[in-house]
Amino acid sequence: MNGKTQDCSHPDTGALDGINALLEELLGPGGCPWDKEQSMESLCEYALEEMYELVEAVRRGGPAERREELGDVLFILLFMARLAERAGQFTLSEALEETRLKMIGRHPHVFADLRVSSREDIFTNWEKIKQAEKAAKKSKPGVFGTLPEALPPLLKAYRIHSKSARNGFTWDTDEDAEQQVEAEWLELLDAGLEGDKAAEEHEFGDLLFSLVELGRRKGIKAGEALDKTNARFLKRFAAMERLSAERGLDFSALKQEEKDQLWAEVKAAEKNIRA
């Protein structure tokens, strides 16, 4: 395969043309005053918000929610591309073609004659190619030169560990990683006993960092795992509140042991449903 685009019409072309026509109208003389005030910079927060809503829909929604949120993300991206084009920076076609060629270059095991024997080979080669790309652009050097600074902390920790592992800097075994987590936990306890808040925060961060790596080695993404735990807690808490209301109780006025009993009931009900 040579990676060249073949001449063929795609069923989504009409829909994309429709969005671009809509954007032209919104940004035109009789369009929306708010839209016409926007810039790529001002849309960044909206892009992040829409992306989080898409992630929420993928993880917990159905096809209808996923379709809606995917459309919203694409609209914001097309909006940003149209603003860039109006400012004379670049066109959407140029951005997509650059990405197409970049992806071809990053998949030499598909589009060239590179032989790989495992997924790890693919990941390692991917990192080497990305670093070479950054070097060619005279970007920040080093293994972490391609790491976006604005990543959320848990995702950034995961990416740091992943890049470190691909460059041969990690614990030899899962057992070593588990021992490191245990060591960090003990150091956190010691810092707490000493009453040093700065040291306690330091050790707490180290513990989280080590847990992220332990999860990565086991195929668990910390951010996704924590998101599922958050959702599980909120679901159980709402169930506790419903039980209280059904029994004519004021949840906030209940004693701790009463709330614990409700929590146990909710968890037991979950197990019965799964069974």
pLDDT tens digits, 133-175? 777 776 677 888 878 888 899 999 999 999 899 888 999 999 9
Q: Please report the pLDDT score of residue 83 as a whole number.
A: 96
Segment 172-186 mean pLDDT: 97
Q: In the chain, pLDDT over 70 holds for what percent of residues?
A: 96
| Residue 269 resides in a domain | yes
Mean pLDDT of all residues belonging to the chain:
91
Give residues with Cβ within 8 angstroms of 25, minimum separation 6: 31
Retrieve residue 71's tokens: 């459309």
Report pTM. Answer: 0.67
Q: Does 69 lie in the same domain as 31?
A: yes
* pLDDT for res 139: 63
> Mean of the pLDDT values across residues 54-59?
93
| Model pLDDT, residue 175 | 96
Q: Indicate whether 120 belongs to any domain.
A: no
Instruction: Output the pLDDT for position 257.
Output: 96
Q: Which residue has the tokens 């140029």?
A: 94
Query: Would 57 be classed as within a structural domain?
Result: yes
Residue that is last in its domain, among 70, 90, 110: 90
The tens digit of pLDDT for each residue in 61-81 reads: 999 999 999 999 999 999 999
Q: At what angle do helices 174-194 and 197-217 cross, to 10 degrees?
A: 170
pLDDT of residue 275: 66
Q: What is the per-residue pLDDT for 42?
A: 94
pLDDT at 5 over 50: no
pLDDT of residue 22: 96
How many CB atoms sit inside 10 A of residue 188's CB?
20
How far, in Å, CA of 11 to CA of 49, rounded?
A: 28
Mean pLDDT of 253-270: 95
Whether 79 is covered by a domain: the verdict is yes
Question: Which ranges of the chain would DSSP assign to H, the alpha helix?
Answer: 13-27, 33-37, 44-60, 63-86, 92-106, 108-111, 119-136, 153-166, 174-194, 197-217, 222-246, 256-274
Residues 159 and 204 in one domain: yes
**Residue 2 in this model has a pLDDT that exceeds 70:** no
Considering the domain boundaries, does residue 133 fall inside one? no
Count the neighbouring beta carbons within 10 Å of the beta carbon of residue 80: 21
pLDDT given for residue 123 in this prediction: 81
Q: What is the count of structural domains for the chain?
A: 3
Residue 126: pLDDT band (50, 70, 90) is: confident
CA 69/CA 54 separation, integer angstroms: 5
Considering the domain architecture, whether residues 268 and 232 belong to the same structural domain is answered as yes
Q: How many CB atoms lie within 10 A of CB 69?
A: 20
> How far is CA 35 from each of CA 12, 47, 53, 86, rounded to the nearest angstrom?
25, 14, 21, 13
- Asked if the structure places residue 78 within a domain, the reply is yes
Report pLDDT for 243.
95
User: Is residue 143 within 8 Å of residue 164, measured between CB atoms?
Assistant: yes
Residue 130 lies in a domain: no
In a domain, 131, yes or no: no
Question: Among 72, 90, 108, where does a domain finish?
Answer: 90
Please check whether residues 173 and 229 belong to one and the same domain. Answer: no
Residue 1: pLDDT over 50: no
Report the CATH number at residue 185. Answer: 1.10.287.1080
What does the pLDDT look like over 7-39, one tens digit per residue?
556 788 899 999 999 999 999 999 999 999 999
Residue 135 is predicted with a pLDDT of 73
Range 180-192 average pLDDT: 97
Task: Tell me the torsion sign for CA atoms 47, 50, 54, 60.
Answer: positive
Tell whether 177 and 190 lie within a shared domain: yes
Euclidean distance between CA atoms 79 and 92, whole angstroms: 10
45 HSE (CA, 13 A, CB side)? 2
Domain range enclosing 170: 147-220
